[in-house]
Structure 1
Amino acid sequence: MEGYAIPTKPVANKDSIVSGSQWRFTLINDIVLRYEWAEDGVFEDRPSTFALNREFPTPKFTVSDTDDQLEIRAGAFQVTYNKTRFDKYGLVVSFSNKNTLWGADWRYGETPQNLGGTARTLDEVDGRCELEPGILSRAGYSVLDDSNSMLFDFSGFAAPRRPGDRIDGYLFSYGYDYKAAMKAFFAISGKQPRLPRWALGNWWSRYYPYTDEEYLKLMDKFEAEKVPLSVAVIDMDWHQVHGDHIPHAGWTGYTWNKKLFKDPKAFTKALHDKKLKVTLNDHPHAGVHHHEDQYEAMAKDLGHDTSDKAPILFNPVDQKFMHSYLNTLHRSLENDGCDFWWIDWQQGPYSRVRGLDPLWLLNHYHFLDNEKQNGEGKAIIFSRFGGPGSHRYPVGFSGDSIMTWESLEFQPEFTATASNIGYGWWSHDIGGHMGGYRDDELATRWVQYGIFSPIMRLHSQMGLFTSKEPWLYRPEFAEVMQNFLRLRHRLIPYLYTMNCASSSNDEPVVQPLYWKFPKRDEAYGKPNQYYFGSELVVAPIVKPRDRRTNHGAVDVWVPPGRHVDIFTGTIYDGDRDIRMFRSIKNMPALAHEGSIIPLDADPAPNNGGESPENFEVLVVVGKNGRLKIEEELDENDKTDKGNYSESPILGYFQQSGRLYFEPKGKAWSIKFLSIMEVPKGFKVVSGIS
């Protein structure tokens, strides 16, 4: 589709390919092998939703080829193949000592000890759900089956796979080097985009038929309580839902409900004036019917006959429809003040063309369209996970979760393992959407987890006891919720820096412990404990407190090296298991020696998450530390780096006891955790080399 193509390099270097009449092997790089079987001998060189790039320097390898056996010997693996349709007897890969943990061979079809990826949705999940596979496995190798994924033709539009008996897979062999495996994944599939800074603040969302006045009064109440927000989510009642003139169930709609929103542009302007971005909910499956404001304009685009008021059916596999869908239908609402779209597709992976998933098409083209409007590093959508490659279209909407402790207990693990398939930006219904039960402690612990999750979005349905305004809870819990919501905005300097690292360095904001400690069994035994950026290890409390002690508990593995809890100041010796107890006021958040954590110094930051003028920096002494604080630039301030710049650089040097930093016109306060007095000879020096 014109204007919506993405850069790809899907055709591998010919010197990296070994092929026969019905089979083809491509050595993508030193650790990734692509294997293909095609009954008709036609192989696939178009980009897939997973594999955008296959052109890489050819690794060293040798080939031994006889009439009935092929052997490929590379540095990390050796392929033995009998030249028949792939099965576990005929296609075997053995690995070097560096690239497998157990010395076992891989036989076609096996997927041992996979550590999990993520799932399409948590809709109506109460507790755990089954995870799709990820790239990482304790076996030291893994397989990604790309046989049924969607393709892109060379114009950039979606295309189905060719019919017939076909296999298209990728074998990753990495041993303990999990980060090398993930870098290979991102090299093939594309990097995570950088999110706009405002996306890292607090989002307000509720499935409730607010009027414009009610919604704005609610935003005023948040301001009065000094609880900052950055995104206003407007659920489906923004559009017409009920009435005899609507010829369907009402979930789909593109015409403002003027009974609730008398002047939509004035409403969105008022939100923008409060430094809030606006997203509207969209269930697109019913298409565009005659009562919609944009019906005639779309019909003109598409040459659609309106004489009998026939609906314009949703057809995402048609380029002409998608162009009008984005540039006429949605653009008109963006002109009303919608900044990005909540794409609420729930109808499964089926379209008029077999193999083309509407969710994929919606995510892909909505994100590219938003990027066209706003620029690189400023684009965002809000939608469900569509499979490998979905990391290119943040943010993920995990769906309608159930309000139970079991649901909360699963979400930290679910979020961390998603990084194993590169999906680093899940947004959950913090506090739960529906069902379950009202529990103030549960809601508070969920908010605490949400603050240390990729995207913090309060959400609920319209039930009387489900809304997530902090002041509706008992004072003991309300105060804690409000303090943590303020903390989220104080953390934005740290979060935006980690956001940039996720894009440029392939380091998702949330990572399982085993990404850093793959050889330690302890790192696999605490699935709800994770790295939150490079400086913090977080262990949310996800079970009710003990009624006798009034404290919640969580079992924590403190990684090697001393750590300091940023809330309590407690110092922990590393490489040990410990049960940590916390009151409702905090949770374990551990900073390692050498950590540098930049915060907004304002204890109650404003809406919007803008770069602060006053910084507070938490420093943990004991080892050297260094951090570049990334800052988002306004349109008029862009550099050759685009929308962000390297702002202050901070460095702490343990041996000399000196902290170096570049003020860059900001005000700074430095807080050394668990230091009772300034060490002798300690100096703060402006400027760093």
Structure 2
Amino acid sequence: MVLPTLPTHPVADPAAVVQGEHYRITVLTDGLLRIEHSPDGVFEDSASTFALHRRQPVPEFRVVDQGTHLEVVTRRLRLTYDKGPFTTSGLSVAVLGAITTWHSVWRYGQDDDGRNLGGTARTLDEADGAVPLEPGVAGRHGYAVVDDSASLLLTEDGWVAPRDDGRTDLYVFAYGHDHAEAVRALYAVSGRQPVLPRWALGNWWSRYHRYTADEYVALLDRFRDAGVPFSVAVLDMDWHVTDVDPAIGSGWTGYSWDRDLFPDPAAFLAEVHARGLRVTLNVHPADGIGPHEEVYGAMCAALGLDASAGDPVAFDVTDEAFLTAYLEVLHRGLEDEGVDFWWIDWQQGPHSRIAGIDPLWMLNHFHFLDNARGGRRPLTFSRYAGPGSHRYPVGFSGDAVVSWASLAFQPHFTAAAANIGYGWWSHDIGGHMFGAKDDELATRWVQLGTFSPVLRLHSSNNPFLTKEPWSFGPEHAAVQTEFLRLRHRLVPYLHTMNHRAARDGVPLVTPMYHRWSRDAEAYDVPGQFLFGSELLVAPVTSPRDRESATASVRTWLPDGVWVDVLTGLAYDGGREVVMHRDLASVPVLAPAGAVVPLDAAAVPGDDPVEPAALEVLVVVGADGAFTMVEDDGTGDGLDEERVARTPLVWDQAAGVLTVGPVAGADRFLPATRTWTATFVSVADGVAPVATVEGAGVDPVVARTAEGHLRVTVGDVPVGAVLRVGLGATPRLRPNDVATRLHRLLDAAQVGYELKRRVLEVLTADRPLHVRLSHLAALGAPATLRAAVEEVVLARAS
């Protein structure tokens, strides 16, 4: 086997290099420097696990040699260096531009003192709330550093080598508050995020449980009958033999199907595939290969070992021959039976037989590249192994404790990972272990999962810790089912963001300060995030209050008008708002001009292929545009001959949504499609018209319970242009305050007379300040008062 390799361009353009006998400074971009010190005068030009592409277009910079010290200046930074061994006083980088205080100067060896905005962590195993985050490339004071001094080197033949000790290799990011650009610089040097397979964006089912083949297939059929879609079937470790002699292993590691549970593995995998799901199997490789394994003899033969001795084959990722056999012998036959990718459940730490070689990184790297053979779009599923891990999605965040504290931390954990470019975390939705049965907690976690990079239900092997929606109370089962369906409906939007992540260097989930970096409020809502280009999500991570029957979440809305696409409630932005939601909803807000494509099916199928019916959400009030991206599912997703782009353009002045024409490949798309334009909370009085290729058609028009206007046109040829018009400059409808107040008060657990008085006071034809002061005198519980005030004050008109 020839080991697969990544394309690399590790040697920088000489024109970008400033070098002395013991130092080398490389200007990679106008905001990113590589700064090296070498006591022996030898510098490293091999690719590392972090840096693959140091050969970048040379930015404008100037060098000023003052004799005693050196200055390197770009439009973003000024490096000052005394040409000696690196010290705090002798090496600094000042961030130029709007950030010019002493806070904006990085000095070698100086404590970060909390300035870094955080990246991510290797795992959430046993976490019950927050865990410390490793640093990212975004800093509150404008700078951040990646220390690459100890990372592995990638050799030209595809293998790895540890570094020589004693050399310092730093990457200093000095992008000021342009955090998103710092992340793009990370991708430029470290490699882009790959395009995930479309099916990876649907729901994943996983449970640590001893399923039989018949039980698993029956469960998938029950999900189908209940209208709960899944696109990935995960089998935890009990797929393989676990009852082994302790003398030869622990049972955690295994490569032989448990024939008592799965008598015909190929037939079982075929049944799962026939239902539209892909399959991944859990592997814990650390214990090696025992003599009980079906492939033991073949593994010994591949490595030249004596199988008759019966000695376990030790796991050793530092041995190229072993790793080759590991992929070709242990995994290839299982893949031929129908396994699509692997869940690498490495729990044994970062050490190996050779110092500096992390087994987790090795497994992530080589499994991912191996999964790409034959032109497939690769995928692996494993823990984070340091900077550069974004190249090997999807991330498995580990076994978090079932608790509100764990739920509350995960939005921040997911968003902050964008600061180190790690865009595809998959959490154990609902938590993995311990904790207590809490239907509301489970439901809120599913809602977070719907707006997470990857939604995967999972739990420990406790027989009471189950995640099927029907294992919860009826109210919770209904809400969970609705959000699991919504996840599959979101796939057209998610897959476009999947392509955006790879092409434009913007992760699906990003912190608010990536877009509003100069607003202090953006840094004060760590649990709120941007979900793609069009949506802002503020997950609910605390239980409902009894009196108001709602849960609250503190939210910051940037300037402009924002509409909750789930409830239709519109808000004036430019402020902080405590939002209240019943169990059925979480704040998912879109600004005026937002355009969001969805699968139009109320109950989407398991395999989220390109849908024949699409719904486009439009928030009127400003121009908007969105190009929906689809592909044929092969290759790396970047080949233009395999990609279709459908423009969706909203012209506010004309009041017209234009769909199409499709650009690029369309051979894999349905010949015709049904399009539904849903105008979110648009005002009454509009008269929808529709044309296809300029000819009038009769649309189906309806209003939803949330106040949205739906205009549906069927049988539109895939290459045609569809236009749906509402008339010039349509506006949002005023919030129906009275109806919303009645609904909220009806659910509230307070006295009937209090409900009546609150409704009368707040809907009276009196000035707002009079109504609110009267409300304050009614003695309503504080939480209920806050909830009704939110509705009244959401928007000025």
TM-score (norm 2): 0.83
Give the match for residue 329 of structure 1: 330
Equivalences for residues 639-678 of structure 1 within 5 A: 640-641=639-640, 643-646=642-645, 648-662=646-660, 665-677=672-684
Would you say the 8 A contact 1:26–1:33 is kept in 2?
yes
Q: Deviations over 1:53-96 (max 9, x none)?
A: 11122233333446643232333222222222211011122232
Would you say the 8 A contact 2:30–2:61 is kept in 1?
no
Would you say the 8 A contact 2:96–2:176 is kept in 1?
no
Would you say the 8 A contact 1:100–1:173 is kept in 2?
no
Distance across 1 between alignment mates of 2:563 and 2:226? 31
Distance across 2 between alignment mates of 1:396 and 1:507? 17
Compute the RMSD of aligned alpha carbons: 1.9
Q: Deviations over 1:573-607 (max 9, x none)?
A: 11111111111011100011111111111100111
SS in 2 for 1:28: strand
More displaced 10-residue stretch of structure 1: 94-103 or 123-132: 94-103
Q: Deviations over 1:318-351 (max 9, x none)?
A: 1111111111211011112110000001111111
Shift in Å at residue 683 of structure 1? 5.9
Equivalences for residues 350-369 of structure 1 within 5 A: 350-369=351-370
Query: Which residue identity lines up with residue 399 of structure 2 in the other structure?
Result: D
Shift in Å at residue 105 of structure 1? 2.3
Give the match for residue 51 of structure 2: 51
More displaced 10-residue stretch of structure 1: 598-607 or 106-115: 106-115
Shift in Å at residue 371 of structure 1? 1.2
Within the candidate set 158, 161, 164, 2:163 is matched to 161
Query: Which residue identity lines up with residue 287 of structure 2 in the other structure?
Result: A
SS in 1 for 2:577: strand
Change (3 A) 1:570 1:351: same
Would you say the 8 A contact 1:122–1:401 is kept in 2?
yes
Shift in Å at residue 539 of structure 1? 0.5
Within the candidate set 128, 131, 143, 1:129 is matched to 131
Change (3 A) 1:19 1:291: same
Would you say the 8 A contact 2:31–2:173 is kept in 1?
yes
Would you say the 8 A contact 1:658–1:684 is kept in 2?
no
More displaced 10-residue stretch of structure 1: 499-508 or 77-86: 77-86
Give the match for residue 194 of structure 2: 193
Shift in Å at residue 685 of structure 1? 6.2
Shift in Å at residue 631 of structure 1? 1.4
Give the count of matched residue pairs. Answer: 685
Distance across 2 between alignment mates of 1:39 and 1:298? 44
Change (3 A) 1:688 1:59: farther
Distance across 2 between alignment mates of 1:504 and 1:58? 21
Shift in Å at residue 205 of structure 1? 0.4
Query: Which residue identity lines up with residue 38 of structure 1 in the other structure?
Result: S
Would you say the 8 A contact 1:343–1:362 is kept in 2?
yes
Shift in Å at residue 299 of structure 1? 1.5
Equivalences for residues 229-308 of structure 1 within 5 A: 229-244=230-245, 247-308=248-309
Distance across 2 between alignment mates of 1:9 and 1:99? 33
Change (3 A) 1:266 1:245: farther
Distance across 2 between alignment mates of 1:239 and 1:123? 23
Q: Deviations over 1:174-223 (max 9, x none)?
A: 11222221111110011100000000001000011111111111111101
Distance across 2 between alignment mates of 1:588 and 1:639? 33
Would you say the 8 A contact 2:99–2:141 is kept in 1?
no
TM-score (norm 1): 0.96
More displaced 10-residue stretch of structure 1: 574-583 or 61-70: 61-70
Give the match for residue 511 of structure 1: 510
Would you say 1:41 and 2:41 are equivalent positions?
yes
More displaced 10-residue stretch of structure 1: 71-80 or 528-537: 71-80
Q: Show structure 1 runs of 5+ residues with no match.
A: none
Give the match for residue 605 of structure 2: 606
Shift in Å at residue 41 of structure 1? 1.5
Distance across 2 between alignment mates of 1:159 and 1:114? 30
Change (3 A) 1:398 1:101: farther
Equivalences for residues 177-576 of structure 1 within 5 A: 177-244=178-245, 247-375=248-376, 378-576=377-575
Change (3 A) 1:360 1:483: same
Would you say the 8 A contact 2:563–2:619 is kept in 1?
yes
More displaced 10-residue stretch of structure 1: 5-14 or 304-313: 304-313
Distance across 2 between alignment mates of 1:605 and 1:132? 38
Would you say the 8 A contact 2:207–2:235 is kept in 1?
yes
SS in 2 for 1:335: helix
Would you say the 8 A contact 2:624–2:651 is kept in 1?
yes
Change (3 A) 1:504 1:134: same
Change (3 A) 1:358 1:640: closer
Shift in Å at residue 20 of structure 1? 1.8
SS in 2 for 1:33: strand
Q: Which has the larger radius of gyration?
A: 2
Distance across 2 between alignment mates of 1:482 and 1:430? 14
SS in 2 for 1:18: strand
Change (3 A) 1:100 1:304: farther
Query: Which residue identity lines up with residue 131 of structure 2 in the other structure?
Result: C
Change (3 A) 1:101 1:359: farther
Change (3 A) 1:101 1:495: farther
Shift in Å at residue 425 of structure 1? 0.2
Distance across 2 between alignment mates of 1:102 and 1:574? 33
Within the candidate set 135, 140, 143, 2:142 is matched to 140
Q: Show structure 2 runs of 5+ residues with no match.
A: 663-671, 694-720, 724-797
Query: Which residue identity lines up with residue 158 of structure 1 in the other structure?
Result: V
Give the match for residue 89 of structure 1: 89
Query: Which residue identity lines up with residue 394 of structure 1 in the other structure?
Result: P
Would you say the 8 A contact 2:104–2:142 is kept in 1?
no
Work out which structure has the larger RCO, using CA pairs closer than 8 Å and 6 or more positions apart in sequence.
1
Query: Which residue identity lines up with residue 307 of structure 2 in the other structure?
Result: T
Give the match for residue 6 of structure 1: 6
Shift in Å at residue 465 of structure 1? 2.3
Change (3 A) 1:661 1:311: same
SS in 2 for 1:626: strand
Identity of aligned residues (%): 49
Would you say the 8 A contact 1:285–1:347 is kept in 2?
yes
Distance across 1 between alignment mates of 2:606 and 2:563? 30
Distance across 2 between alignment mates of 1:187 and 1:39? 29
Change (3 A) 1:620 1:246: farther
Would you say the 8 A contact 2:509–2:531 is kept in 1?
yes
Shift in Å at residue 167 of structure 1? 0.9
Distance across 2 between alignment mates of 1:369 and 1:85? 42
Change (3 A) 1:688 1:672: closer
Distance across 2 between alignment mates of 1:42 and 1:68? 23
Would you say the 8 A contact 2:204–2:457 is kept in 1?
yes
Would you say the 8 A contact 2:146–2:172 is kept in 1?
yes
Give the match for residue 118 of structure 1: 120
Change (3 A) 1:306 1:103: closer
